[in-house]
């Protein structure tokens, strides 16, 4: 074992503590846990050694350097027994303390931020589907990601086509990451519907709680207080509001058998003016769309003063041509209003005005209240504007 640990320590000359000074970025948790790279244990630093050897062969540089980022959970002492030698866990913590590697609660956001800013290639077997809303540059990327693969008794690096994933897949994967952080995935990695399909009340006044599991108890993620089960949760459908291709806000529509929901310009007050000018916002009607949400399906009707359009997005292909949405003014005896509503599918988008688009999220359990991206608090509506209302 002493010679094995000595071989692992020889990797230190390739570890660069600063991302800007490294030749490559390494998704350390992904590499160390990738059982397809050989070594029987569920975690092994030998896999990092094989990747570094593959990088030397890939580049022809015997002194190639990497900035490796891990999730804190990889370094926790409770998992030392998962390594072939428990000393490997201690070695990882030593590297962290010496600044040779980085370890944070969740490595992916920092890893991708570095890759975007520096243009450095990333070594990982992850598709990062849940992060493509924040990092749309990953969609279809063929130049910046390398996947380690076993070749005989060694590992080689293969340039990876990151493919184009549908919006609903990205949203669903992002939700899964969020549920994992709240301990709401079971041992099989499936969402805990027994918690997520219920409504919860926090004892802290005015708190709209986000439930988490701690020690087998359902608690408020913000306050850590025990939550009270107040009954089944009514299903919601999440809508994403994109401005010039970037998601800037979202809105949750709760299913209701008898109600129609109005979406209009007031739902864009959360978006900063640097992203959406007041002039553009005001060009959206106060009552722009009527929406019906029932049994996981959405139906929409244009009620704006200017025509809205809809089209279908096809992953890897060009979108279909735009089509006009049915408008309330088309109502007649032969076509009553309830027959004018059009289905709004998971792979479709609605253009409210040029550059401002509405898409469906793939999340199954969206947050209880609408919030802007990065949880920006909504501003007060301007005079005459209203937030979501039922008609």
Q: How confident is the model over 354-384, as pLDDT tens digits?
A: 999 999 988 888 864 433 333 333 343 444 4
Q: Look at domain 236-390 and name its CATH class.
A: mainly beta
Q: Going by DSSP bridges, is the β-strand pair 121-123/145-151 parallel, antiparallel, or unpaired?
A: parallel
Contact call for residues 192 and 184 (beta carbons, < 8 A): yes
Beta bridge partners of 27: 69
| Whole-number Å distance between alpha carbons of 275 and 243 | 7
CA trace torsion 367, 368, 369, 375 (10° rounding):
-30
Question: 2-159 — its CATH code?
Answer: 3.40.50.11980
Mean residue pLDDT across the chain: 88
pTM: 0.65
Statement: residue 389 has pLDDT above 50: no
Residue ranges with strand state E in 233-362: 236-243, 246-254, 261-263, 289-294, 297-302, 309-312, 323-324, 342-343, 348-353, 356-360
> Domain locations in the chain?
2-159, 167-232, 236-390
Q: How confident is the model over 122-166, as pLDDT tens digits?
A: 999 999 988 887 898 998 899 999 999 998 889 999 999 998 887
- Residue 187: what pLDDT? 84
- Residue 120: what pLDDT? 97
Statement: residue 175 has pLDDT above 90: no
Q: What angle do helix axes 87-97 and 2-9 make, rounded to 10 degrees?
A: 30
Band of pLDDT at residue 313, cut at 50, 70 and 90: confident
Query: How would you class 3 by CB atoms within 10 Å of its CB: exposed for 0-12, middle for 13-18, buried for 19 or more?
Result: exposed
| Whole-number Å distance between alpha carbons of 32 and 125 | 11
* Token pair belonging to 31: 């590499």
Band of pLDDT at residue 55, cut at 50, 70 and 90: very high
- Residue 111: what pLDDT? 97
């Amino acid at each position: 074992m002493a010679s094995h640990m000595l071989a692992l320590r020889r990797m230190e000359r390739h570890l660069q503590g600063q991302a800007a000074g490294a030749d490559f970025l390494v998704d350390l948790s992904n590499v160390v846990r990738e059982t397809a790279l050989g070594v029987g244990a569920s975690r092994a630093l030998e896999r990092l050694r094989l990747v570094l050897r593959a990088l030397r062969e890939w580049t022809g540089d015997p002194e190639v350097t990497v900035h490796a980022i891990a999730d804190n959970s990889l370094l926790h002492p409770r998992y030392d027994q998962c390594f072939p030698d428990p000393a490997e866990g201690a070695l990882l913590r030593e590297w962290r303390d010496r600044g040779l590697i980085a370890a944070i609660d969740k490595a992916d956001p920092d890893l991708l931020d570095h890759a975007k800013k520096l243009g450095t290639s990333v070594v990982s077997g992850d598709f990062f589907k849940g992060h493509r809303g924040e990092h749309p540059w990953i969609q279809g990327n063929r130049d910046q990601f390398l996947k380690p693969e076993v070749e005989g008794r060694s590992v080689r690096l293969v340039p990876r086509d990151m493919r184009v994933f549908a919006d609903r897949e990205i949203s669903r994967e992002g939700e899964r990451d969020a549920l994992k952080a709240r301990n709401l995935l079971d041992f099989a990695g499936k969402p805990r519907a027994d918690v997520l399909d219920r409504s919860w009340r926090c004892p802290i006044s005015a708190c709209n709680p986000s439930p988490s599991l701690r020690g087998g108890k359902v608690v408020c993620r913000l306050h850590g207080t025990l939550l009270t089960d107040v009954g089944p949760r009514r299903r919601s459908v999440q809508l994403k509001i994109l401005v010039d291709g970037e998601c800037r806000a979202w809105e949750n529509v709760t299913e209701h058998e008898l109600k129609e929901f109005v979406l209009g310009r007031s739902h864009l007050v959360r978006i900063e003016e640097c992203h959406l000018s007041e002039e553009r916002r005001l060009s959206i009607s106060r009552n722009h769309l009527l929406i019906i949400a029932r049994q996981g399906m959405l139906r929409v009707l244009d009620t704006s003063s200017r025509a809205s359009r809809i089209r279908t997005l096809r992953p890897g292909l060009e979108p279909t041509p735009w089509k006009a949405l049915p408008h309330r003014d088309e109502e007649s005896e032969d076509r009553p209003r309830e027959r004018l509503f059009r289905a709004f599918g998971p792979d479709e988008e609605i253009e409210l005005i040029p550059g401002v688009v509405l898409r469906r999220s793939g999340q199954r359990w969206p947050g209880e209240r609408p919030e802007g991206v990065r949880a920006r608090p909504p501003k007060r509506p301007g005079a005459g504007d209203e937030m979501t209302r039922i008609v």
